[in-house]
């Protein structure tokens, strides 16, 4: 295992993902958390940070203590902090470097092994290292930065410690974890394998067998209940639990009336195909009756959340002796993030499937707690879950209710389901579905005049939304081909009676959001 000490950089999760991609397990912890030096821990990576090492409240750790015990890699701020703590000079300099730079290797090293001369790396720092501390050696420079890569102590090349018990300490001024550092992943892999001696055995197959064993140990002969949503995370989590305990896992999938067209039946049939023991609960009418008269988005969200919990609890009560609750929580939901507005620590809030309350007094089973989304998909593929389910776009818990602006009625749901179905099917047929992060249609509370044949129409407008994004935090509108948009517009207007106008949303997030409510 590798530990990544987070100093608050926006790229910390990318470091973790690069490590995991090299099939090495890692965890992120806030820099001020104490470290457990168990034998599985093979090395430490120090992240970047929005702080300057010379800020009065800059986050610090004692790097000498760490490198007395384990190999360390400092990235950007981690490199500057190392230089400063060992007696070098770091200052705000006129020679700032942002963006592209070319790495010139000064000597061979296991860290930069097989990295091409003048490989492109990505810089993002305001401070610069003016003098290296004594005992450090330069490994590479760029045009503007004399100390782009440096080290103290030597790795033997096969992952054993350097001289006199001290472990190798490597530093990189650039960000190897970002996409634009072309050979960055190779450098990280060199650190993991050549310096730390990691085995690269963090694979989906290993994860599945280890997790199934751990689940059997945790659960024993008890029963688990779980809300399923048709989404990737809950499906993969349920499939793992099912592999561990079979039909002692009882899944519940609620039709809240605001799912996509035919989604309830299709997802239930996929679950059966996977072999899951799932009960479908048709609660459409309850949801419609309680949504009636509500047009405020937050009121709609609260109503749906509350009803979901009620329905789920009713079903849970019917399962005798159930003691555990399965959840599809994933790693980004549980990483403690370091706040850049001071050393305080905030835990990210997350909206899980309906947000089931703690007062259910059930012990949690969260087999995906340490996985990133792309790893969840890889584990899902390993488990044989069909690709169309694994590659599904995210879909909000309140479903189409927050895509019908204003009051939700059964009739409006039907209209939107039809339009949305044409749009999503079109994206798939034109091989565009996987090029966007999320897509959907929105029913606007606006009627406008149209003409069809000799007839005047006065009907609703639908907005199409498609965005590109990495994590939903920021997003750009997808530049879908005009010919595609033209076809979809025609299809919707010609086949969905009640809609006579289609518009395309060209807003990015921020300042807009992905959903309209």
Residue 24, marked binder: no
Residue 233, marked binder: yes
Residue 209, marked binder: no
Best CA proximity match to 73, nearest among 155, 134, 135: 155
Q: Select from 317, 351, 414, 497 the one that contacts ligand XMP (CB under 6 A).
A: 351
Query: Does the annotation mark 177 as catalytic?
Result: yes
CA distance to 420, 449, 484, per residue, from 261 (Å)? 8, 27, 21
- Does 514 sit near ligand XMP (CB under 6 A)? yes
For residues 73 and 55, what is the distance between their CA atoms, to the nearest angstrom?
22
In the complex, minimum distance from the CB of residue 361 to ligand XMP, in angstroms, rounded to a whole number: 24
Q: Catalytic residue, from 26, 67, 76, 459: name it.
A: 76
In the complex, minimum distance from the CB of residue 274 to ligand XMP, in angstroms, rounded to a whole number: 23
Q: Catalytic residue, from 67, 125, 175, 242: name it.
A: 175
- Does 78 sit near ligand XMP (CB under 6 A)? no
For 192, which DSSP code?
I
Kindly tell me which of 2 and 236 has the beta carbon lying closer to ligand XMP. 236
Residue 269, marked binder: no
In the complex, minimum distance from the CB of residue 395 to ligand XMP, in angstroms, rounded to a whole number: 7
- Does 505 sit near ligand XMP (CB under 6 A)? no
- Does 373 sit near ligand XMP (CB under 6 A)? no
For residues 66 and 45, what is the distance between their CA atoms, to the nearest angstrom?
10
For residues 242 and 385, what is the distance between their CA atoms, to the nearest angstrom?
13
Sign of the dihedral defined by the CA atoms of residues 88, 91, 93, 99, in that order: positive
Of the ranges 127-135, 191-199, 313-321, 394-402, which one interacts with ligand XMP (CB under 6 A)?
Answer: 394-402
For residues 442 and 433, what is the distance between their CA atoms, to the nearest angstrom?
17
Kindly tell me which of 301 and 378 has the beta carbon lying closer to ligand XMP. 301
Q: Which residues, at least 6 apart from 251, have a Cβ–Cβ distance to it below 8 Å?
A: 225, 226, 227, 228, 238, 271, 276, 277, 278, 279
List strand residue ranges (DSSP E) for 453-508, in order.
Answer: 455-469, 475-477, 499-504
Question: DSSP of 79-122, one letter per residue?
Answer: HHHHHHHTT-EEEEEEEEEEEEEEEEE-S--STTTTPPTTEEEE
Kindly tell me which of 229 and 500 has the beta carbon lying closer to ligand XMP. 229
Q: Cβ of 345: how many Cβ atoms within 10 Å? A: 13
Block residue for tokens 């999503």: 424
For residues 150 and 147, what is the distance between their CA atoms, to the nearest angstrom?
6
Of the ranges 69-77, 156-164, 325-333, 507-515, which one interacts with ligand XMP (CB under 6 A)?
Answer: 507-515
| Angle (CA) 64 70 72, round 5° | 70
- Does 394 sit near ligand XMP (CB under 6 A)? yes
- Region 158-187 residues binding ligand XMP, contact defined as CB under 6 A: none
Question: Is the bond preceding residue 511 a cis peptide, omega within 30 degrees?
Answer: yes
- Does 438 sit near ligand XMP (CB under 6 A)? yes
- Does 346 sit near ligand XMP (CB under 6 A)? no
- Does 232 sit near ligand XMP (CB under 6 A)? no
On whether the CB atoms of residues 165 and 173 are closer than 8 A, the answer is no
- Does 513 sit near ligand XMP (CB under 6 A)? yes
Q: Select from 175, 294, 301, 501 the one that contacts ligand XMP (CB under 6 A).
A: 301
> Phi and psi at residue 65, in whole multiples of 5°?
-65, -45
For residues 236 and 380, what is the distance between their CA atoms, to the nearest angstrom?
5
- Does 332 sit near ligand XMP (CB under 6 A)? no
For residues 369 and 516, what is the distance between their CA atoms, to the nearest angstrom?
30
Kindly tell me which of 139 and 389 has the beta carbon lying closer to ligand XMP. 389
Residue 229, marked binder: yes
- Does 397 sit near ligand XMP (CB under 6 A)? yes
Q: Catalytic residue, from 97, 177, 263, 375: name it.
A: 177
Distance of CA 123 to the CA centre of its chain: 24
In the complex, minimum distance from the CB of residue 245 to ligand XMP, in angstroms, rounded to a whole number: 27
Kindly tell me which of 59 and 396 has the beta carbon lying closer to ligand XMP. 396
Residue 321, marked binder: no
What pairs with residue 225 in β-bridges?
250, 325
- Does 396 sit near ligand XMP (CB under 6 A)? yes
**3-class DSSP assignment, residue 425:** helix
Residue 12, marked binder: no
Q: Select from 99, 357, 472, 481 the one that contacts ligand XMP (CB under 6 A).
A: 472
In the complex, minimum distance from the CB of residue 436 to ligand XMP, in angstroms, rounded to a whole number: 12
Kindly tell me which of 30 and 230 has the beta carbon lying closer to ligand XMP. 230
Query: Does the annotation mark 76 as catalytic?
Result: yes
For residues 174 and 49, what is the distance between their CA atoms, to the nearest angstrom?
12
Kindly tell me which of 376 and 514 has the beta carbon lying closer to ligand XMP. 514
Sign of the dihedral defined by the CA atoms of residues 175, 178, 183, 189, in that order: positive
Q: How many residues bind ligand XMP (CB under 6 A)?
A: 12
- Does 474 sit near ligand XMP (CB under 6 A)? no
List residues near ligand XMP by CB under 6 A.
301, 351, 394, 396-398, 438, 472, 509, 513-515
User: Residues annotated as binding site for ATP?
Assistant: 229-235
User: Which residues belong to the annotated binding site?
Assistant: 229-235
Name the residues annotated as catalytic: 76, 175, 177
């Amino acid at each position: 295992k590798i530990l990544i000490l987070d100093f608050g950089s926006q790229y910390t999760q990318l470091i973790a993902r690069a490590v995991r991609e090299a099939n090495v397990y890692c965890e992120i912890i806030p820099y001020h958390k104490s470290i457990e030096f168990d034998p599985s821990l093979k090395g430490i990576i120090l992240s970047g940070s929005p702080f300057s090492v010379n800020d009065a409240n800059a986050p610090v750790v004692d790097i000498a203590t760490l490198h007395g015990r384990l190999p360390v890699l400092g990235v950007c701020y981690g490199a500057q902090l190392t230089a400063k703590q060992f007696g070098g000079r770091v200052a705000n300099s006129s020679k700032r470097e942002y963006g592209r730079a070319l790495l010139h290797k000064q000597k061979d090293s296991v860290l930069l092994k097989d990295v091409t001369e003048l490989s492109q790396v990505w810089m993002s720092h305001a401070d610069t290292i003016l003098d290296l501390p004594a005992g450090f050696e330069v490994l590479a420079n760029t045009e503007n930065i004399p100390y782009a890569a440096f080290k103290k102590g030597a790795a033997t090349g096969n992952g054993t410690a350097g001289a006199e018990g001290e472990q190798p300490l490597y530093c990189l001024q650039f960000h190897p974890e970002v996409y634009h550092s072309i050979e960055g992943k190779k450098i990280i892999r060199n650190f993991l394998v050549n310096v730390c001696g990691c085995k690269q055995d963090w694979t989906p197959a290993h994860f599945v067998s280890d997790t199934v064993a751990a689940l059997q140990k945790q659960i024993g002969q008890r029963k688990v209940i779980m809300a399923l949503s048709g989404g990737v995370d809950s499906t993969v989590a349920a499939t793992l639990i099912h592999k561990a305990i079979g039909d002692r896992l009882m899944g519940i999938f609620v039709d809240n009336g605001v799912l996509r067209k035919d989604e309830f039946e299709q997802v239930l049939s996929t679950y059966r195909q996977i072999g899951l023991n799932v009960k479908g609960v048709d609660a459409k009418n309850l949801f419609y009756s309680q949504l009636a008269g509500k047009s405020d988005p937050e009121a709609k969200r609260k109503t749906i959340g509350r009803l979901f919990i009620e329905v789920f609890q009713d079903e849970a009560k019917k399962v005798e002796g159930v003691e555990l609750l399965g959840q599809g929580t994933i790693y980004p939901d549980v990483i403690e993030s370091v706040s850049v507005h001071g050393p305080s620590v905030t835990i990210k809030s997350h909206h899980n499937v309906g947000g089931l309350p703690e007062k259910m007094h059930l012990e949690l089973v969260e087999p995906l707690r340490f996985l990133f989304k792309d790893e969840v998909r890889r584990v899902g593929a390993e488990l044989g879950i069909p690709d169309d389910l694994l590659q599904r776009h995210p879909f909000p818990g309140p479903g189409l209710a927050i895509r019908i602006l204003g009051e939700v009625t059964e009739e409006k749901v039907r209209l939107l389901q039809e339009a949305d179905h044409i749009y999503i099917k079109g994206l798939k047929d034109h091989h565009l579905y996987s090029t966007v992060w999320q897509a959907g249609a929105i029913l606007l509370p606006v009627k406008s005049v149209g003409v069809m044949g000799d007839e005047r129409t006065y009907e609703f407008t639908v907005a199409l939304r498609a965005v590109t994004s990495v994590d939903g935090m920021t997003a750009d509108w997808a530049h879908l081909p005009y010919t595609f948009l033209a076809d979809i517009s025609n299809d919707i207007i010609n086949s969905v009676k009640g809609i006579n106008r289609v518009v395309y949303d060209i807003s990015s997030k921020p300042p807009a959001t992905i959903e309209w409510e």
